[in-house]
A = this chain, B = another copy of it.
Amino acid sequence: MDEKKKIILTGDRPTGKLHLGHYVGSLKNRVSLQNQYDQYILIADMQALTDNAGNPQKVRDNILEVALDYLASGISPKKTNICIQSMIPELAELTMYYMNLVSVSRLERNPTIKEELKLRKFGEGAVPVGFLTYPISQAADITAFGASLVPVGEDQLPMLEQTREIVRKFNQTYKRNVLVEPQALVPEISRLPGIDGKAKMSKSLGNAIYLADEPDVIRKKVMSMYTDPNHLRVQDPGNVENNPVFMYLDAFGTDKDKIAEMKEHYRRGGLGDVVVKKYLNEILQEVLEPIRIRRKEFEKYKPEVYKILELGTKNARQLASKTLANVKSAMGIDYAQSLFDESKKIRKWKIVIQKTKS
């Protein structure tokens, strides 16, 4: 990979297969970003464990699923380093040092964390420390690779701001520009509604169409989609705003004229949901078919997929380890590189050991 390219980092928690929401909001972009940037994709298993400590098997199993989704979507291991968080110990070390630069109350003010705490319902007084602190661990991920660009949805902007604060605080405290302050890259469409009309497609809400779904599953999901609840009869005028079927058409359809025409027709009445859904189904089948075929192909080559992860992780670790060395050197705690050099001067080693016997 070209050393001069800017570094870009994204990632996913391996807690389930990836779905159309991921595809539109992130995967599709990554496939083109890998041509312009030196791209790292982190399979964030340690982050996944912060709210799945009791179910590590789920995290373990989904590493492969997520990797298959990446490769099937067109992420190329020749252009992108796909790496596994827990296999890069430098990330844990960086997290420990950054934890001293962030106050507890700053973490508790993080809007993204507040939102996510609502969703997760840990119960009164049962928020795991690892969950509250994961924005710091994320800062470690981003800075370890020296990422200058991080594609994030709008709801994740406060997370990136936490990283930016840590970078500034670190560089200022240790008087060296060791860490790179990342910029956000907010995608055009950062989130897709669920098939039930809820604002976000998500595994836990059970409202997702997966990249790995079979054709008949996709069709059934599309035909069951939530539309305008007031559009009861075909002849009724319907609403296309906040109507997931039309939002999906906007996200995936390429025949913009046809879609505009359908919207107009739906608005004035006379266009049935079934017709629109059938058209959406055709489009989604076309988008998902090649991905599904590639995914099945990769499933036959699991050892090779693991090898891809192994090599990506190795490359990522090399980079993280350089950053950690710079961090420790800036802090002056690089004993192995500095203090311990002195131990090479030893001539009379045995004598000292004997002295200590007294």
A residues at B contact (CB < 8 Å): 45-46, 49-51, 53-54, 56-57, 59-60, 63-64, 71, 74-78, 84, 86-87, 89-90, 92-93, 95-97, 99-107, 122, 125-133, 136-137, 173-174, 294, 297-298, 301-310, 328, 331-333, 335-336, 339-340, 342-346, 348-349, 352-353, 355-358
Min distance, Cβ A251 to any Cβ of chain B, angstroms: 23
Contact of A103 among B77, B125, B305 (CB under 8 A): B125
Min distance, Cβ A265 to any Cβ of chain B, angstroms: 37
Min distance, Cβ A21 to any Cβ of chain B, angstroms: 23
Is there contact, CB below 8 Å, between A353 and B95? no
Q: In the docked arrangement, what's the CA distance between A125 and B107, Å?
A: 10
Min distance, Cβ A278 to any Cβ of chain B, angstroms: 29
Min distance, Cβ A74 to any Cβ of chain B, angstroms: 7
Contact residues in B for A173 (Cβ distance below 8 Å): 53-54
Is there contact, CB below 8 Å, between B126 and A103? yes
Given contacts A92-B92, A93-B92, A129-B107, contact A306 B100 (CB under 8 A): no
CB nearest to A56 among chain B residues: B331
CB nearest to A305 among chain B residues: B352
The 4 A-B pairs with the shortest beta carbon distances in the complex, nearest first, are: A99-B130, A105-B125, A53-B100, A100-B130
Contact of A356 among B77, B105, B126, B357 (CB under 8 A): B77
Taking A49-B97, A95-B96, A107-B129 as known contacts, 14 extra A-B pairs with beta carbons closer than 8 A to each other, sorted by chain A number, are: A45-B333, A51-B100, A53-B100, A75-B356, A87-B335, A87-B336, A89-B89, A99-B133, A100-B130, A103-B127, A105-B126, A129-B136, A305-B352, A307-B349
Contact residues in B for A302 (Cβ distance below 8 Å): 342
Q: In the docked arrangement, what's the CA distance between A95 and B129, Å?
A: 11
A to B CB contacts below 8 Å, 5 in the list: A53-B100, A54-B173, A298-B355, A304-B352, A306-B335
Contact of A78 among B75, B97, B298, B357 (CB under 8 A): B357
Contact of A128 among B74, B101, B305 (CB under 8 A): B101
Is there contact, CB below 8 Å, between A128 and B105? no
CB nearest to A170 among chain B residues: B53
Is there contact, CB below 8 Å, between B304 and A349? yes
Contact residues in B for A306 (Cβ distance below 8 Å): 335, 339-340, 342-343
Min distance, Cβ A41 to any Cβ of chain B, angstroms: 13
Q: In the docked arrangement, what's the CA distance between A93 and B74, Å?
A: 32
Contact residues in B for A130 (Cβ distance below 8 Å): 96, 99-100
Q: In the docked arrangement, what's the CA distance between A137 and B127, Å?
A: 18
Is there contact, CB below 8 Å, between B99 and A335? no
Q: In the docked arrangement, what's the CA distance between A343 and B97, Å?
A: 34
Q: In the docked arrangement, what's the CA distance between A173 and B53, Å?
A: 8
Is there contact, CB below 8 Å, between B87 and A89? no
